[in-house]
Structure 1
């Protein structure tokens, strides 16, 4: 980050959604209304396929990019692979996620203290197990979830965390998009360690386990904690799966099988930038954390969806000047990094990635989250994506 001033982010006063960190306190959000505040850049629509030759809306020389190696060598990949054996993955999924600005507890554990509820949970919502949003399917039905959607598992400061994420189309066919705070710890100025992606983890690990190779993001997120750039592209190694075996004494061991490149295995969402606001959008994630009133309508083990038209939002506290918001969404901690998909086809699960779950809002101050926001996907996002998709892999 040559020439970049490193400044701790301002003190947070509302919940920064959704990363798998431990020990958050939940704060109400009421300072910033859900209606549009200001305008977004009026750039033309830019859709990116893996083979795209569309010109960016302005010069995207890579002077604002931050890249860091996660596990580039074969030996480093092997170390991460051996760390994330099935028992550890199963334990990690039970951890309670919380916001990235929260104080981290002394150790990761399957349980964490939560605020005392101020009102009972809504029974119908808890039973349905879905977020409420405009255009949601009737209870008992659901659109096909993109098989690209999954979870990332990683360590910050020797503690294990998780977030949501998605595979995206790329020239190297090996790229994951997630939130910046799901790959870089702005409080310690450190990239994540032992970072892996598992698509559709609720179905097991058949889709593969993909070790992070290189992290690419805008430099203002690690440098300033700027949530105008809370997105990250992580290039990943070829994937593998574990199969259980028993030796002559009945002891369980695991055999590793290679499964190839991520995009070849599960596909990838195309990337769309400079679309503006007002777009019908589906957002996916694995919410798990408590609502502000302490209730827990989600368990983090099932992917959920919110739907609505995007509006413009701001948060000076988070240096967010060009954010997008979807209302009527109760996503809580754990959904961070999940994809915002436009032009979504529920029959096939295909569409364009146009945002990432970043901040959760409690605008009504009624004990329930009611909106989710994303950084705006503009020219800087495009530059980060184009850099990451060209990274050569072994």
Structure 2
């Protein structure tokens, strides 16, 4: 239902947090802050062993991947969207204040603020963007995501709600990243099983949309190869070596830069239409950014891009500064989190992301520091 004039709808781009399935998840998933200095980082293991990797891989065999083109993320119910008044949503804060932990770690994270984009080992253009597929309980979902340049060459950025359900305090299961997905469920650049989620404790603890982001460390990739009438896994190496990685920008003041948002939207628009099918990477043209808030989502320091008519499915897709169309590279400055219907008409008209600050750099740095299994086959 479209709200009355002078009100907006801020709705989650994916239904993963808005539908309440019966969760089974990963048994005994543990998590802990990495150290006292990294106290805002919440770390959750996914597939830890080779047996875990093969369990996830076996779930996403070619016959199941072929069906993912037919799936679309469910649309949030009308009662799930958070309505905010025009004055509240339009104004936004003057500037996000750094927390004590953030201020104390500025010096340590200076290098993360300057992470540069990286081309793949072979080729002159990157393929960093793609989809993540996963389960919460017995229900399958998918979101958008991107590879980020890192020293372990194995980091994926997406929305927090595309990796961890804060309501049940459980991570996604059977989590994989497929960069540059092709038709019919093909994965020309490999399939990468999630090894560990790094996120902000305020997402895992209370679902605060100021921290709706996750950096997922992934294992080496594989492809399915037909052999003797069956499919077998073939190791294809590390993510960044194969597809490249976006750079990372932190503490960028909204209004001082233009950003291009990417994703695979597929969900329903407010008027019931489905202009996107989720099969093709879409982008909203480069536009200016500004601060925004959504009290119903605990969003106090969001960043909004207008115009952009993304719908569910685009969650987790990257916001890229200085995007180079030829090299298909730029620097990550946010991820799609909420979509907005500010004019209360038939289509969404803007999208917002959590503000990437110094603590975001701490979360990223943790994901970039982890090692993974040397061979997945």
When normalised by structure 1's length, the TM-score is 0.73
Secondary structure of 1:215's aligned partner: strand
Per-residue deviation, 1:64: 1.0
Give how far 1:276 is off.
1.1
For residues 79 and 181 of structure 2, the distance between their equivalents in structure 1, rounded to whole angstroms, comes to 27
Give 1:187 shift.
2.5
Q: What is the rounded CA distance, in whole Å, between the counterparts of 2:139 and 2:299 in structure 1?
A: 28
- The structure-2 alpha-carbon separation of the partners of 1:187 and 1:92, relative to structure 1 and needing over 3 Å to count, comes to farther
Structure 1 partner of 2:220 = 238
Quick one: which of 283, 288, 296 aligns to 1:317? 296
CA distance in 1, matches of 2:175, 2:331: 25
Instruction: Give 1:287 deviation, angstroms.
Output: 0.2
**1:1-394 to 2 correspondence within 5 Å?**
14-19=10-15, 61-98=37-74, 147-202=127-182, 204-245=186-227, 247=229, 253-278=230-255, 279-307=257-285, 308-394=287-373
What is the CA distance between 1:189 and its match in structure 2? 1.5
Contact persistence 2:167–2:206 (CA under 8 A): no
Q: Contact 2:176/2:192 (CA < 8 Å) preserved in 1?
A: yes
Q: 1:348 to 1:185 in 2, by over 3 A?
A: same
4+ residue runs over 4 A deviation: 19-24, 99-104
For the 8 Å contact 2:126–2:244, the answer to whether it is kept is: no
Please state how far the C-alpha of 1:343 moved relative to its aligned partner: 1.3
Whole-Å Cα distance in 2 between the matches of residues 321 and 369 of structure 1? 21
Q: Which moved more, 1:88-97 or 1:339-348?
A: 88-97
CA contact (8 A) 1:288 1:332 kept: yes
What RMSD, in angstroms, separates the aligned Cα atoms of the two structures? Answer: 2.4
Instruction: Note the C-alpha offset of 1:165.
Output: 0.2
Whole-angstrom CA distance in 2 between matches of 1:16 and 1:70? 24
CA 1:295–1:23: 2 relative to 1, 3 Å: farther
Shift of 1:90: 2.0
Which whole-Å deviations, capped at 9, do the CAs of 1:12-65 have from their partners, x for residues lacking one?
9742113567979xxxxxxxxxxxxxxxxxxxxxxxxxxxxxxxxxx9920111
CA distance in 1, matches of 2:15, 2:303: 19
- Find the residue that maps to 2:11 and give its secondary structure: coil
TM-score, length of structure 2 as denominator length? 0.76
Structure 1: 5+ residue stretches without partners: 1-11, 25-58, 105-143, 248-252
Q: 2:361 and 2:238 mapped to 1: Cα distance? A: 22
User: By how many angstroms is 1:74 displaced?
Assistant: 0.8
SS at structure 2 position matched to 1:214: strand
Q: After superposition, what is the alpha-carbon deviation per residue over 1:152-188, rounded to whole angstroms, capped at 9, x for unaligned?
A: 0000012111000000011110110000000001222
- Separation in structure 1 between the aligned mates of residue 371 and residue 228 of structure 2, nearest angstrom: 37
CA distance in 1, matches of 2:250, 2:76: 25
* Residue in structure 2 matched with residue 117 of structure 1 by the alignment: none
How many equivalent residue pairs?
Answer: 305
Deviation, structure 1 residue 351: 0.5
Deviation at 1:96, TM superposition (A): 1.9
Q: 2:114 — aligned with what?
A: none
- When residues 72 and 78 of structure 1 are mapped into structure 2, their CA distance, relative to the original with a 3 A threshold, is same
